A and B are shown apart, each in its own frame.
Chain A
Amino acid sequence: MPRDTLLVFRHTIGPVLRSPATILISMVQTILYLVLFGPLLEDLVRVPGAANSWQVFAPGILVQLALFTGAFAGFALLPDLRAGVVERMRVTPVSRTALLLGRVLRDVVVTMAQAVLLLLAATALGMRAPLVGVVLGLLLAAVLAGALSAASYTMALALPNEYQFAPVVQSVTLPLMLLSGVLLPIAFGPDWLRAVSKVNPLTYAVDAERALFVGDYGATDVLTGVTVVLVVFGLTVLWGTRSYRRQNA
């Protein structure tokens, strides 16, 4: 199974390696947020424990990156489904789980590369944060992207054309993003907004990232966030492998 996963991973990462610019193109939106929105907060946001606003904003944007790269991953599956690539692979002895995990691994790796670029840009803009926290935050974001990409591929299997898939992805990602305090800490909001955000797993990821970026590794936010992300990862991969298996006799 690990061997099959690597085979599928190498196959799906191929186009990225051939034209690495695609990594940048798919994160333009996130970079725009960072560059055009981040500076607005410099004087606005004062969070206890944070030396500057970038320590609050950059981890949020990191989660947004994971959200977009992960949730939109399914779009890459659609042309492959249409071209018969997926069926062609399913008529081999390859593990069904690997067909999903190989692709998820690709998105984890791509997210890591994008996150490095994002954090370098944030540093250039003035972010200062402890290296260990940043590295841990990056790993957490990558796992989160994997969880979302597993869910995205599973949705893509069920809704195998753009007309059906795109509206679903969009109507899920936007509320997830807005209700997680990605752009501004949700603590700034009214009670009802905070209550709603509590059912959003992304909220916990954002809180954990923020704690990591100020070096507060022992915070309960970190433990909760890591647990939530791992559980969501486990659940979406389970859901995904089940539907990849069910697709055949």
Chain B
Amino acid sequence: MIHVRGLARRFHTRRSTVDAVTGVDLDVAAGEVVGFLGPNGAGKTTTLRMLTTLLEPSAGSAEVAGHDLLREPALVRRRIGYVAQGGGCSPHGRVREELVLQARLHRLDRDRARRRVDELMDRFALTDLADRPTASLSGGQRRRVDLAVGLVHDPAVLFLDEPTVALDPRSRAHVWDHVRSLNAEHGTTIFLTTHYLDEADALCDRVLVIDHGRIVAAGSPSELKRQVSGDVVEVGSARPSAVAEIAGRLPGARDVTTTATGVRFHVPRGDTALPELLPALVLAGVSITSVQVHRPTLDDVFLAMTGRPLHDDTQEAPVAA
């Protein structure tokens, strides 16, 4: 559904040139949910704006929804939806009006536009807000309008830029539900960006980690985590050194550390290591008080790939009012 080769974008400002995106290759199959994970300034928005025909690439090529991005931008636009980081509600628009306008811009005739808008307002729980000025809506309500606006023409591919940035947890969960059901029930291919690890983890079939304009890692959330450090196993016991000796014999075990109350070590896969570890402990007569397996987070992935933590810049991307 999306095929990108060598996509790059350089910005020239008065004083400097910024290589915002430097040679991105990626493929997204129909029906996939793929996420771009990276810190602020990594080049996520720039990539998305190129893929949605808003920004001319400095180099590279792409096919989006079956059409060449550079040669057939008008055909691409018919088949994609885009929800920008700050949304796209007019400062003086009203909910229904904004939706109808977008449907009409997508060439739906008056009747079809009205039916489609009713359907979307129902789906996104906007019916009661139909005549409200969008400027008066809460963040979560506005985000639902943004999503509905991006979907008026039932696009094959939906691009979401930081869909839940600055939302409260409940609204966030709602957006996640909508994204999931859109993909599950309508088969919409979804390409989203986020700098939240839990979001990438919760929504994406595949994650592309982007930093300084290039992709530094790719895989399913669980693959990525395994690639970095395997799982962390923690065993509580009154005899840590005995546990440590047995744990050290497990295939692939490393970084075994003992504390006063237990042992901590890494194995490639915690779920398959435990069935080996536990009988061995029983056989050796070592009693334990607790066992825990942690999957490493995408924080660990990012740290391992880039040498710095994901959230070393604390500044949040601003959301347009």
Residue contact A87 to B105, C-beta cutoff 8 Å: no
Residue contact A84 to B87, C-beta cutoff 8 Å: yes
Residue contact B74 to A83, C-beta cutoff 8 Å: no
List A81-116 residues whose CB lies under 8 Å from chain B.
82-85, 87-94
The A interface is mostly helix, strand or loop, or mixed, namely: helix
Which interface residue of A14, A84, A88, A248 has the most chain B CB atoms within 10 A? A88
Determine if A15 is an interface residue (Cβ-Cβ < 8 Å): yes
* Complex: A99 Cα to B159 Cα, angstroms: 22
Determine if B36 is an interface residue (Cβ-Cβ < 8 Å): no
Determine if A249 is an interface residue (Cβ-Cβ < 8 Å): yes
Chain B residues lying within 8 Å of A90, measured Cβ to Cβ, are 53-54
Whether A93 contacts B78 in the complex (CB less than 8 A), given A11-B90, A83-B89, comes out as: yes
Residue contact A249 to B91, C-beta cutoff 8 Å: no
List A2-30 residues whose CB lies under 8 Å from chain B.
4, 7, 11, 14-15, 18
* Complex: A249 Cα to B55 Cα, angstroms: 6
Whether A83 contacts B86 in the complex (CB less than 8 A), given A90-B54, A91-B80, comes out as: yes
| Residue from A7, A18, A85, A249 within 8 A of B90 (CB atoms) | A85
Residue contact A79 to B91, C-beta cutoff 8 Å: yes
Residue contact A248 to B104, C-beta cutoff 8 Å: no
List B103-129 residues whose CB lies under 8 Å from chain A.
104-107
| Residue from B81, B88, B104 within 8 A of A83 (CB atoms) | B88
Determine if A162 is an interface residue (Cβ-Cβ < 8 Å): no
The B interface is mostly helix, strand or loop, or mixed, namely: loop
Determine if A80 is an interface residue (Cβ-Cβ < 8 Å): yes
Whether A87 contacts B73 in the complex (CB less than 8 A), given A79-B91, A249-B50, A249-B53, comes out as: no
Whether A14 contacts B89 in the complex (CB less than 8 A), given A88-B149, A89-B105, comes out as: no
Residue contact A92 to B102, C-beta cutoff 8 Å: yes
* Complex: A82 Cα to B102 Cα, angstroms: 18
Chain B residues lying within 8 Å of A7, measured Cβ to Cβ, are 101, 104-105
Determine if B57 is an interface residue (Cβ-Cβ < 8 Å): yes
Residue contact B88 to A84, C-beta cutoff 8 Å: yes
**Bitwise interface map of B from 215 to 248 toward A, beta carbon under 8 Å scored 1, else 0:** 0000000000000000000000000000000000
Give chain A nearest CB distance to B184 CB in angstroms: 24
Residue contact A83 to B91, C-beta cutoff 8 Å: yes
Residue contact B90 to A83, C-beta cutoff 8 Å: yes
Determine if B69 is an interface residue (Cβ-Cβ < 8 Å): yes
Tally A residues with Cβ within 8 Å of B. 23
List B305-321 residues whose CB lies under 8 Å from chain A.
320-321
Closest to B107 in A: A93
* Complex: A244 Cα to B77 Cα, angstroms: 16
Residue contact B77 to A91, C-beta cutoff 8 Å: yes
List B32-74 residues whose CB lies under 8 Å from chain A.
49-50, 52-57, 69-70, 73-74
Residue contact B106 to A93, C-beta cutoff 8 Å: yes
* Complex: A194 Cα to B210 Cα, angstroms: 62
Which interface residue of A7, A79, A91, A249 has the most chain B CB atoms within 10 A? A91
Closest to B134 in A: A83
Closest to A84 in B: B88
| Residue from B55, B86, B105, B149 within 8 A of A93 (CB atoms) | B105
Whether A4 contacts B320 in the complex (CB less than 8 A), given A83-B86, A249-B57, comes out as: no
* Complex: A94 Cα to B81 Cα, angstroms: 14
* Complex: A249 Cα to B60 Cα, angstroms: 12
**Bitwise interface map of A from 49 to 80 toward B, beta carbon under 8 Å scored 1, else 0:** 00000000000000000000000000000011
Determine if B97 is an interface residue (Cβ-Cβ < 8 Å): yes
Residue contact A80 to B105, C-beta cutoff 8 Å: no
Interface residues, chain B, with chain A CB atoms under 8 Å away: 49-50, 52-57, 69-70, 73-74, 77-78, 80-82, 84, 86-93, 97, 101-102, 104-107, 149, 153, 320-321
Closest 10 CB pairs of A and B: A88-B88, A84-B88, A92-B105, A91-B82, A249-B56, A15-B92, A94-B105, A84-B84, A85-B90, A79-B91
List, sorted by A's number, 20 A–B pairs whose CB atoms are closer than 8 Å. Answer: A11-B93, A11-B101, A83-B88, A84-B84, A87-B49, A87-B82, A88-B84, A90-B53, A90-B54, A91-B53, A91-B54, A91-B77, A91-B81, A93-B107, A248-B55, A248-B73, A249-B50, A249-B54, A249-B56, A249-B70
- Further 15 A-B residue pairs, CB within 8 A, beyond A85-B91, A87-B82, A93-B107: A4-B105, A11-B90, A11-B101, A15-B92, A18-B92, A80-B90, A83-B91, A88-B102, A88-B149, A91-B54, A92-B106, A93-B78, A247-B54, A248-B53, A249-B56
Interface residues, chain A, with chain B CB atoms under 8 Å away: 4, 7, 11, 14-15, 18, 79-80, 82-85, 87-94, 247-249
